[in-house]
Structure 1
Amino acid sequence: MTAAAAQRPWGRVEFEERLRAVAEERYHDRHPFNIRMNEGRLSPAELRRWIINRFYYQRNIPVKDALITAKFDSPDLRRMWMRRIEDHDGREVGEGGIERWLRLGEAAGLDRAVLLSDTDVLPGVRLAVDGYVNFCRLRSPIEAVAASLTELSAPDLMRRRIEAFERHYPWIDAEGLVYFRARVRQGRRDSGETLPLVLSMARNRAEQEQAVAALAFKCEVLWSLLDAVDLAEQEIRW
């Protein structure tokens, strides 16, 4: 391959295939902890540990989305992306994805004050999530947006998670699964907006490669989060 060919932009189809390959091959549904979750092999304490630590990621989603929104110079794009903040924060108190995750915690026997305190968030989880927020703060709009494309794989994961919780963890009230149910629809809608946006924003090979690398980085963030939860040796107090 000549140097010129190596720098030639990928066609739209090849670019999309490369993005989808990263989302499919490196998504955290393959992590051993997630596999054990779906197979019903987590203890109540392990599941509660995951709920607590994953909440640190959940509550930072609208923060990273606010940082991405600020990068857009188009009112249309800002309006589109601001809806994601509303999805998690809600329009009113008691609404949104963060509230639904708190209800998941309560359904699993956790006091919402435990989740909101951040006291039990593992250092590795905090490092991974803070790194992702800073990535969205400091990197280009293309990279910040492309990192969100893990949502390509999210709907399938959420469907499998609902089935696993209903089958293996009946001690968690069904009302606690509302977050997962909502994300099936939201993830499909969000990825339907984000993928065309990334495909159009990346206009040269360097930008395309940055987008693919950004998505790989986000997969590593989610994988590292589960690594920390899986390998935790902290005293279980819940």
Structure 2
Amino acid sequence: MEIAQTPLATPHEAAWSPSAFEAQLRAKGRAYHIHHPFNVRMNAGGCTPDEIRCWVANRFYYQVCIPRKDAAILANMPDRAHRRLWIERILDHDGHGDFQGAAGGGLEAWTRLGEAVGIPREDLWSLQAVAPAVRFACDAYVRFAAQAPWQEAVCSSLTEMFAPQIHKDRLATWPQHYPWIEASGLAYFRNRIPLAGRDVEHGLQVTLEHFTTRVAQQRALDILQFKLDVLWTMLDAIEKASQQ
């Protein structure tokens, strides 16, 4: 996958103010996968148990890739202060401390979600159910994070701005529509809501401070669109895989 290039601003166009630039970034939420037909149907109760399991199994590969992506960004960060903040993201997913309970991390919480929908732990971790297109999209994102300037990679993480609502929707609708899913398996969605807010604060700070010309700001919008495309493409692939 490549970053689509929209027509560049001319060097003579003034940069947006920080508040106007942030508004442009947030407006990209119109393309967030919360609006994907499969996600809409899932939250409306329209998915079968097999479709839910397909989604959980494929999204797990994205969860596996998140700490790898964050480690790649961390390796490119020259500043200790930023590294100290960014490393929290890796610990959030891989776990920390005694790795028990909430300290088990996001990967463990997603594993519990898998078990709650009927996927044994060893089957989930085998990644055998991951669709090729999902693997391709996630791997493309990890490669981008490793190869891009670290500020650009940080910018790509700003889809977290839109994530709290998608988690809230699942917490609000899944217990009603999918009572067969053990409630404790939904902890991942609940845990991510406050963490996303913390991560956005740091990511926005880096982005607003680094992309300060109109041309650079347009580049940032293209990068964010690339990440949105990764997430949308994943759901396209999951929807197709769930029908096979």
Tell me the TM-score normalised to structure 1 length.
0.93
Contact 1:142–1:211 (CA under 8 A) maintained in structure 2: no
Alignment partner of 1:83 is 2:88: yes
Q: Distance in 2 between matches of 1:3 and 1:157?
A: 36
Identity fraction in percent: 45
Q: Tell me how far 1:71 sits from its aligned partner.
A: 1.6
- The range that moved more, 36-45 or 190-199, is 190-199
Change (3 A) 1:33 1:200: same
Tell me which amino acid in the other structure corresponds to 1:88: H
- Equivalent residues, number: 232
Match of 1:110 in 2: 119
Match of 1:134 in 2: 143
Match of 2:133 in 1: 124
Among candidates 38, 44, 48, match of residue 43 of structure 1: 48
> Cα deviation per residue 1:154-196 (whole Å; 9 max; x = unaligned)?
0111001111111111111111000000011111111122112
Match of 1:66 in 2: 71
Q: Tell me how far 1:93 sits from its aligned partner.
A: 3.9
Contact 1:53–1:122 (CA under 8 A) maintained in structure 2: yes
Q: Tell me how far 1:54 sits from its aligned partner.
A: 0.2
Alignment partner of 1:54 is 2:59: yes
Tell me which amino acid in the other structure corresponds to 1:111: P
Q: Distance in 2 between matches of 1:114 and 1:50?
A: 14
Tell me which amino acid in the other structure corresponds to 2:48: S
Alignment partner of 1:18 is 2:27: no
Alignment partner of 1:145 is 2:145: no
Contact 1:37–1:164 (CA under 8 A) maintained in structure 2: no
Match of 2:185 in 1: 176
**Equivalence map 1:183-194=2 (5 Å):** 183-194=192-203
Unmatched tracts of structure 1, length 5 or more: none
Secondary structure of 1:232's match? helix
Q: After the TM superposition, list the runs of 4 or more consecutive aligned residues in structure 1 that deviate by more than 6 angstroms.
A: none
Change (3 A) 1:40 1:3: closer
Contact 1:142–1:207 (CA under 8 A) maintained in structure 2: no
Tell me which amino acid in the other structure corresponds to 1:152: M
Among candidates 29, 33, 36, match of residue 34 of structure 2: 29
Tell me which amino acid in the other structure corresponds to 1:66: A
Change (3 A) 1:110 1:4: closer
Q: Distance in 2 between matches of 1:74 and 1:153?
A: 27
Q: Distance in 2 between matches of 1:129 and 1:46?
A: 20
Q: Tell me how far 1:4 sits from its aligned partner.
A: 4.3
Secondary structure of 2:41's match? helix
Secondary structure of 1:70's match? helix
Q: Distance in 2 between matches of 1:135 and 1:119?
A: 24
Tell me the TM-score normalised to structure 2 length.
0.91
Q: Distance in 1 between matches of 2:18 and 2:198?
A: 20
Q: Tell me how far 1:106 sits from its aligned partner.
A: 0.2
Q: Tell me how far 1:125 sits from its aligned partner.
A: 0.2
Q: Distance in 1 between matches of 2:85 and 2:11?
A: 37
Q: Distance in 1 between matches of 2:10 and 2:105?
A: 49
Q: Distance in 2 between matches of 1:233 and 1:32?
A: 13
